[in-house]
Amino acid sequence: MDVIERLRALCTALPEVTEKVSHGEPAWFVRKRMFVMFADRHHDDRVGFWCAAPPGAQEALVDGERYFRPPYVGHRGWLGVHLDVEVDWDEVGEIVEDAYRTVAPKTLGAQLAQR
């Protein structure tokens, strides 16, 4: 399975998630709010994704190798994750769930906690 399919599987496993193309890339939404956007060489020569992140996550994780501050949304605390390096998919799954919880209504976040 390639990286886009693995990322898609993580995102679509979450409650009420839809996929749409945004800015020319696949993106995942929960009730019209984007929480993950794939980035296939979107602004550089790297493959990865951009995602909403809880307060402080960007500052704690950005290292220039695996994690980066994405353009346009980085100033809002979003996190960029490179997928063209060795990927820990369990960690990516946690990051995707954190992104979801960051933008999802509390009722959906509670459903996720019960799973």
pLDDT in tens, 3-61: 999 999 999 999 999 999 998 899 999 999 999 999 987 677 789 999 999 999 999 99
Give the number of other CB atoms < 10 A from CB of residue 12. 11
Output the furthest CA–CA distance in the chain (Å, rounded).
Answer: 39
**Tokens 């060795």 map to which residue?**
86
Q: Report the distance separating Cα 113 and Cα 107, nearest Å.
A: 10
pTM of this structure: 0.92
Q: How many domains does the chain have?
A: 1
pLDDT in tens, 37-47: 999 876 777 89
Residues whose CB is less than 8 angstroms from the CB of residue 44 and which lie 6 or more positions away in sequence, other chains included: none
- Classify residue 32: in a domain, yes or no: yes
Q: Which pLDDT belongs to residue 23?
A: 85
Q: Report the distance separating Cα 58 and Cα 10, nearest Å.
A: 20
The domain that contains 35 carries what CATH number?
Answer: 3.90.1150.30
- Classify residue 88: in a domain, yes or no: yes
- Classify residue 114: in a domain, yes or no: no
Q: In 3D, which of 52, 49, 90, 78 has the Cα closest to residue 66?
A: 49
Residue 1 has pLDDT above 70, yes or no: no
pLDDT in tens, 77-105: 999 999 999 999 999 999 999 999 999 99
Q: In 3D, which of 66, 62, 73 has the Cα closest to residue 48?
A: 66
Arithmetic mean of pLDDT over the chain: 92
